[in-house]
Amino acid sequence: MRADRQDDPVAGFEPLEHTADLKIRVWAPDLRGLIEQAARGMISLLVGEPLPPTAHLEVCGSGDDAEQTLVDCLREILLLPELAGVLPVTAEVLAADEQAGRCWVGVAPVAQARAHAGQDIKAVTYHDLTIRQVHGHLEVQVVFDV
């Protein structure tokens, strides 16, 4: 099992097998942590090797419920290369509830980060996306279109 923080059963992410796309399982004690771990999981797919940020940007997402807010935060982070010419390399969620999330994203110039590039992700999907309460924490599986 791969966790964002080694040996941390409370919060983390791990890649899962998927036939055509990429998929991660994410868990955390609350929605803020769940969005943060999902962002870190997505970034780990985008950037094959860890890369230090050269700058930070605040990214916000919103929705009508927790699932929409999670997806919108991930989509906003995923759009950074196209909109700002930077690749996300780290993520911290400053605040989150069912209607909004504020993320502090470490970024690096696309040209610099491409040498460390991992998977090419086109979109965050809603495929089988349901946040569940499992053994006292939240858990979700996120599928990315590649």
Domains and CATH numbers, the chain: 12-145 (3.55.10.10)
pTM of the model: 0.87
Nearest to 138, CA basis, from 24, 9, 13, 29: 29
The yes-or-no verdict on residue 110 having pLDDT over 80 is yes
Phi, psi for residue 73 in degrees, rounded to 5: -60, -45
Confidence class for position 3, pLDDT limits 50, 70, 90: very low
6-42 confidence digits (pLDDT tens): 456 788 888 777 567 899 999 999 999 999 999 999 9
Q: Is the dihedral of CA 50, 27, 100, 102 positive or negative?
A: negative
Please tell me the predicted confidence (pLDDT) of residue 134: 93
